[in-house]
Amino acid sequence: MFDTAKEIDGFLRQLFSICRSITGNGNRETLRVLQEIIPLTLHEVSSGTRVYDWVVPDEWNIRDASISTMDNRRIVDFKENNLHLVSYSEPVKGTYTWNELQSHLHLHPEIPEAVPYRTSYYKRDWGFCVTAAQYRELEQQKVPFKVVIDSSLEPGSLTYGEMLISGQSRREILISCYICHPAMANDSLSGVLLTAFLARELLAKRDRYYSYRIVFVPETIGAVTYCALNESAMKRIDTALVITTVGGPGKFGYKKSFDASHVINRLIEEVLNETGEEYLIYPFDIHGSDERQYSSQGFRINTATICRDRYYEYPQYHTSLDNLDFVTARQISETLVLYRRLIEKFEALRYYRNTLPDCEVMLSRHGLYPETGGAQQPELNGRSELDIILWLLFLCDGSLDIDSIACRLNVLSSELLAVAGKLVSKGVLEIV
């Protein structure tokens, strides 16, 4: 694990200060760096492309931005921290008085030393995010300021990265993360790097059962775009992980998928219980990350997230304090271990299907029924071999895994597997 943490650390430092957004060269640069970890394919989707109810926006690129005194002393400097500029700020070059500038400044409501993270993707605007000290310094100046935003906002494209890893089964698991946040480490560079390292492990894994669809998209518009352009494949997917905020120092937590009884939630709880540590559970909610798209009516993919200091929950969220003091490669690699265990559990799931689903199977024809009829009553706890056979034939329709059935019947998976094996040998069950 030490080596992985060391590698993650190198990439954290390399990627942290790149100015990412929902489009632009920062995203391309980030994805190209990730290609050093995994063979990602990059896709470009033109501005103006209609994707369901959304439209891919113009591409934004930023070279420099500052608020300076008339003698060119920079008070607010994008090059010091890219959070100083509201993402998607349109180009500006001019002289502004304090009164004119004030409405374009954003302060964190609670933490004076924090630079807040603000965006204006769908309203043409510009602005700067400052600390309380910078705000005071600007306010005290009696003379106008030079404001420069050397940006471009014009037709171009939205960039996303994708990698498909095939397994024995064509059944896919979606693993998604978002690449649109500038200089913040937990939300969500931590998720981007964990996804890349998890993908590298999946690629190296022998005898993969499932196929994996790994996507690196800008949040919301990128996930919507991905769904629209890959609609038929995405509509076949049943399970997904959105990997974000995985590198804080706090407790592990997980956000459930919309169907609390879905197997992904049970497996995540098993993984978390095995750590022996307390963890947080967030029920499904319509707020959150790209599970909002993947769980929507048209797709209904059960999407869960294992996290550590989840978005919304930690004071440094969406500020300059979500930095490399708060997030460490070791913390990310500890969460990576949990995702690795989750995948192992997923890979171990087994599904069976009744080969004779129309009415009951005539058990005696297959040597599965006690020879003297009439005396068979369900046992008190309903757990004789005959009961288990009947339940297996009732429940095994190819969609419910054997561990879920074991939980439901309150028997050991090993007992159930033994009986299932017998039914497979008689030809009345088949492994899906």
3-state secondary structure of 251: coil
Residue among 284 and 314 whose Cβ is closer to Zn ion: 314
Count of residues interacting with Zn ion (CB under 5 A): 1
Residue among 313 and 385 whose Cβ is closer to Zn ion: 313
Residue numbers 40-79 binding Zn ion by CB under 5 A? none
CB of 20 to Zn ion, least distance (A): 11
Residue among 118 and 300 whose Cβ is closer to Zn ion: 118
CB of 319 to Zn ion, least distance (A): 11
Length of the chain in residues, anyone?
432
Residue among 172 and 187 whose Cβ is closer to Zn ion: 187
Site for Zn ion (CB under 5 A): which residue of 59, 172, 187, 291? 187
CB of 187 to Zn ion, least distance (A): 4
CB of 227 to Zn ion, least distance (A): 20
**CA-wise closest residue to 177 among 156, 198, 201, 205:** 198
Amino acid present at 47: S
245 torsion bin: left (phi>0), alpha (psi -120 to 50), beta (else)? left
Residue number closest to Zn ion, CB atom: 187
Beta-ladder partners of 252: 308
Instruction: Indicate the burial class of 332 (C-beta count within 10 angstroms; 0-12, 13-18, 19 or more).
Output: buried
CB of 310 to Zn ion, least distance (A): 11
Which residues, 6 or more positions from 40, have their beta carbon under 8 angstroms from its beta carbon?
A: 31, 34, 161, 162, 163, 216
Dihedral pair phi/psi, residue 401, rounded to 5°? -75, 160
Separation CA 83–CA 78 (nearest Å)? 7
Residue among 279 and 311 whose Cβ is closer to Zn ion: 311
Residue among 184 and 361 whose Cβ is closer to Zn ion: 184
Separation CA 189–CA 326 (nearest Å)? 12
Separation CA 416–CA 432 (nearest Å)? 16
For Zn ion, which stretch binds (CB under 5 A), given 59-67, 181-189, 196-204, 267-275? Answer: 181-189
CB of 189 to Zn ion, least distance (A): 11
By CB under 5 A, name the binding residues for Zn ion: 187
